[in-house]
Each structure stands twice: as C-alpha cells, then as structure tokens.
Amino acid sequence: MPSDEAIKASAASGWKTWSTKKKAAILGITLFILALAIGLGVGLGLGLNNDNDNGSSGGGGGSGGDNTTTWQPPVGSTWQIVLSYALNDTRPAVDVYDIDLFENPASTIDELHAQSRRVICYFSAGTYEDWREDASSFPQEDIGADLPDWEGESWVDITSEAIRDIMTARLDLAREKGCDGVDPDNVDGYDNDNGLGLSEEDTVDYVRFLAREARDRGLSIGLKNAGAVIDRVIGDMQWSVNEQCAEYHECDVYAAFVRANKPVFHLEYPKGDKVNDEVEVTGRRKTEACDFGESDKFSTLIKNMDLDNWYQTC
C-alpha cells in the first residue's frame, strides 16, 4: 500500500490537477484492487504449498518456487548413467548423462555439452566413502553404520553442520566443473539400518537444504529413491532418480514426478547384483522391468548393477 509520502509525492505531479472527489474514487478503487491482489496472492501461495505438499495432485509442480533459470528436463528425457569409472564412451545419443562428480574432469562435461547433452553429476550426500579425495574431512562422530553391500561406505549424520559443509563444497565443485545438475545419493538413511537414528524428517530437512544450496549455484537437483518423502520435497526437485521401482512394485509412488511434469530417471537391474555383462535382457525379465502403470512416461534404463557402460532401453 502506498504511504502518505508516496501519495503526496504523486499528488505533486499528475494527481494535483484532479478533483478531490475523483482522487477519493481512484484511491478507493486502488485500495480495492490492492486488497483483491493481496487476497489472490495469499490464495495462490496456499495453493502452491498444497501442490508441494501433495505431489499426487499433479499439475504445475514445475514452476512453484523453483528458480526458473535452473534447468528443468522434460518428462521422457533419455539418459545414460555410468558411475563405475570415468566416462569413456560418449556415443550414446541421449539427452542426459549422469556421471560421477569426482571421477570426471571438466573436459568430459565440456565434451558432452558440445554434443548438446546435459550433465548430472553424482555424489553420495548421505554416506562416507573412504576413497574420496575429501574423505578426511568427515568427523568420526558423524559416521554411522556401514552399508553391508558396499565396501568402504558408511551412513553419515545428515543433520551435522560439518557434513553439510562437506556437501556444499561438493556443490561448489559441481558448479566449477560445469555440471547442469546434481544427483545426491543415499538421502534415504531412514529406510536403512543407519546406526544414527536418522528419520524421514531429517531427510526432508536435508533434501531441502541441498536444493537451496544447489539452486544458489545455478544447479538443478533430483531426489534419489526416498519414495516416502516425495510429497514433502517434490516442489524443490527437478527430477527423480529411482532404482528398481518395477522390481519392488512401487512405480506408482514415483509417478508423482511425471504427473508434476518432472522426469523419472528409472533404473532396473534384472541381472541381479552378481552379473555385469554385455548380454541383452529379453522375455519376461525385460517385460517386468519395462511394463508397469504409466511406464510410457518413465525414462527407464536396464543396467548392470555396477553401472558400467552397458545399457539397454525398453
């Protein structure tokens, strides 16, 4: 609402020549419009919050509160993910590459950009990995239970300031290397024996923190797995990265993303965790990976669990 000073200031110019009655009428109309605008603003604000709190309501989750300058990939984007070594094969003609933040030099990201690909940089945001170059920065007291299937890796306390500082430094690295977005893994400690008492609420708070820090650096961000918190964080996310929703019959949970016009980069590992070969998956194993409700909108890849170069589309 304009202050008396502002009204006086404008009265000194155009308003000066108008009759008092006309001024009063215009002031009344202005106040009415202002009141309407404020009411509408509050209503819209509530609507957006509802949308963010309830991803399954669908619709325009893509815009509310998001930084419009950050990259939003469309539903159905094609992709490739290679995490077991530095990327050495950029031939797959897909829209998006998800590659390891530490293993890959900026020149690889530049090369992908020159081929009109977008690049998502992967790092583990919820675990300590003893081989990473910043491993010595993790305080011992913030390290929890080991991940049984992944040697040298343990859950970390995602509520710790020290851990969060490490992750913002990783986001700085992602920006320096020219990544378009980040894929922070292992944010679902609540769903695992983490040894630190981590809860869903801790995940929600941590994911929102990562989203703010990513956005401040012009980086897009996605939610890895963590189906239980989708409705609380989907407004802050530009995509989902999901593993094995078809195998576990939970793709309907992740479909909240495609309904909000955000892609689900979906992985299935029909060969299991022992076999990493170049053999194509066929028959029932392929059907089970590829066919489920709304599967036509998912960005599904069949991969070896070690996430090497080999991939197959549906």
Ligand X SMILES: *[C@@H]1O[C@H](CO)[C@@H](O)[C@H](O)[C@H]1NC(C)=O
Contacting residues toward ligand X, per CB under 6 A: 67, 69-70, 85, 88-89, 215, 217-218, 309
Least separation in angstroms between residue 175's CB and ligand X is: 8
Q: Residues near 245 by Cβ (< 8 Å), separated by ≥ 6?
A: 227, 251, 253, 254, 264, 266, 292
The DSSP code for 135 is G
State the virtual CA torsion across 8, 10, 11, 16 in degrees, nearest 10. Answer: 160
CB 211 within 8 A of CB 221: yes
Q: Give the tokens for residue 98.
A: 């998800």
- State how far the Cα of 230 lies from the Cα of 225, in Å rounded to an integer: 9
- State how far the Cα of 39 lies from the Cα of 144, in Å rounded to an integer: 48
Q: Between 164 and 175, name the residue whose CB sits nearer to ligand X.
A: 175
- State how far the Cα of 301 lies from the Cα of 314, in Å rounded to an integer: 7
Neighbours of 21 (CB within 10 A): 8
Q: Between 107 and 137, name the residue whose CB sits nearer to ligand X.
A: 107
- State how far the Cα of 264 lies from the Cα of 300, in Å rounded to an integer: 8
The residue with tokens 């008396």 is: 4
Least separation in angstroms between residue 229's CB and ligand X is: 23
Q: Which residue has its beta carbon closest to ligand X?
A: 218
Q: Between 109 and 253, name the residue whose CB sits nearer to ligand X.
A: 109
Least separation in angstroms between residue 94's CB and ligand X is: 16
CA-wise closest residue to 299 among 118, 86, 94, 116: 94
Q: Between 88 and 140, name the residue whose CB sits nearer to ligand X.
A: 88
CB 183 within 8 A of CB 121: yes
Q: Between 108 and 242, name the residue whose CB sits nearer to ligand X.
A: 108
Q: Between 31 and 275, name the residue whose CB sits nearer to ligand X.
A: 275
Least separation in angstroms between residue 107's CB and ligand X is: 16
* Three-state secondary-structure class, residue 246: coil
The DSSP code for 264 is E
CA-wise closest residue to 202 among 157, 254, 145: 157
Q: Between 54 and 67, name the residue whose CB sits nearer to ligand X.
A: 67
Q: Between 3 and 88, name the residue whose CB sits nearer to ligand X.
A: 88
Least separation in angstroms between residue 27's CB and ligand X is: 33
The residue with tokens 């679902």 is: 188
Q: How many CA atoms lie within 13 A of 60 on its CB side?
A: 8
Least separation in angstroms between residue 213's CB and ligand X is: 11
Least separation in angstroms between residue 304's CB and ligand X is: 12
Least separation in angstroms between residue 169's CB and ligand X is: 17
Least separation in angstroms between residue 216's CB and ligand X is: 6
Q: Between 215 and 224, name the residue whose CB sits nearer to ligand X.
A: 215
